Structure 1
Amino acid sequence: MNTKILGAFAAVALLAACSPKPPPAPAAPATPVSTIVPGSEEDLVANVGDRVFYDFNKSNLRPDARATLDKQAAWLAKYSSVNVQIAGNCDDRGTEEYNLALGQRRANAAASYLKAKGVAAARMSTISYGKDRPTAQGDNEQAWAQNRNAITSVR
């Protein structure tokens, strides 16, 4: 009789060991925490846009560039203690001297537009990197178009 009871307990124990474990309770959804500090470089890039693009051998502002600069002007009005630098860039075609001059014209065009929108000139500085700081690698129109820009950064 004891053998039968022990056998029954052994069978129950064996079945219990083989039964699947209940799935874990679902975790509570994580609340996204923004690590972007208002008025920071990251804020400018993520919420406004830090760069405008130019056509080949041009420094005049395109309509899409004006739209981005309008958003930058509003952002700069909101964060009146923030100073920025506007860097003009070119694709890798052309001489070093030509690209430095073109990059400066591009940076100046963006700064002039922001100034016309009410941003104090004392809050902005400009620099040209010519073709020395490409944002896209490659010798094709897609890469060149990305490198013809003016980038606004917080200082």
Structure 2
Amino acid sequence: MLHKAFKQGLGLACVMAVLAGCSSTSTTDENASTAAADQGVNTGTTTQQDVSATQEPVVALETVFYFDFDQAVLKPESRTALLGHAEQLKAAPRSIRLEGHADERGTREYNMALGERRANAVRDFLVLQGVSGSDLEVISYGEERPASLGSNESSYSANRRVELK
């Protein structure tokens, strides 16, 4: 009987040791990090306060730009948002895809060309603002990927667009 109790106790001790070793506690000593930070020592850890002090807040900019019927001319509100995109792209260059779209009116070929002209209008504006043209890919979907289904002015206006992706 004593032998059985000893085995159970030893088994329980082993399980507890495994559980203690698998616990998910932080391995960083917060007091040491704070003391090192007070002395100006870099511990390799970054606090949220450090990040917010060095980075500017990211402003969410519009990524869909709408056009008038049969037009590839940027509207003033689109230009304003694109200026913000241009600043971000100059500060941190990355590849952007400009997807041109058209509503269902017109032939498929005409709408493909119109979507391309719209995407090129956005690309040209960004390039004029100093964004590298090699980072901008232009593609036209014409009427093939509508944002809104329907044959009314509301749907048409939602589909005459360029999307930044």
Identify whether the pair has TM-score above 0.5, normalized to the shorter chain.
yes
The one-letter amino acid of 2:101's match is N
The one-letter amino acid of 2:152's match is N
Q: Do 1:48 and 1:75's aligned partners in 2 also have CA atoms closer than 8 Å?
A: no
Residue 100 (structure 1) aligns with: 112
Alignment of 1:121-136 (within 5 A): 121-136=133-148
The one-letter amino acid of 1:149's match is R
Structure 2 counterpart SS, 1:125: strand
Structure 1 counterpart SS, 2:147: coil
The CA distance in 1 between the partners of 2:161 and 2:84, in whole Å, is 17
Q: Give TM-score scaled by structure 1 length.
A: 0.67
Deviation string, structure 1 residues 3-57 (Cα, Å, up to 9, x no partner):
xxxxxxxxxxxxxxxxxxxxxxxxxxxxxxxxxxxxxxxxx9x811111110000
Q: Are 1:71 and 2:91 counterparts? A: no
How many residues are aligned here? 108
Q: Do 1:86 and 1:124's aligned partners in 2 also have CA atoms closer than 8 Å?
A: yes
The CA distance in 2 between the partners of 1:128 and 1:119, in whole Å, is 20
The CA distance in 1 between the partners of 2:121 and 2:136, in whole Å, is 12
Runs of 4+ in 1 over 2 A off after TM superposition: none
Residue 5 (structure 2) aligns with: none
Structure 2 counterpart SS, 1:87: strand
State the 1:93 CA deviation: 0.8
Deviation string, structure 1 residues 65-93 (Cα, Å, up to 9, x no partner):
1112112112212322x110101100111
Q: Give TM-score scaled by structure 2 length.
A: 0.63
1:88 to 78, 86, 100: 100
Q: For structure 1, list consecutive stretches of 5 or more residues without a partner in the other structure.
A: 1-43
2:149 to 120, 133, 137: 137
Deviation string, structure 1 residues 79-117 (Cα, Å, up to 9, x no partner):
22x110101100111100100010000000000000000
The one-letter amino acid of 2:155's match is A
Q: For structure 2, list consecutive stretches of 5 or more residues without a partner in the other structure.
A: 1-57
Flag the structure with higher helix content: 2
Percent of aligned pairs with the same residue? Answer: 35
The CA distance in 2 between the partners of 1:140 and 1:86, in whole Å, is 25
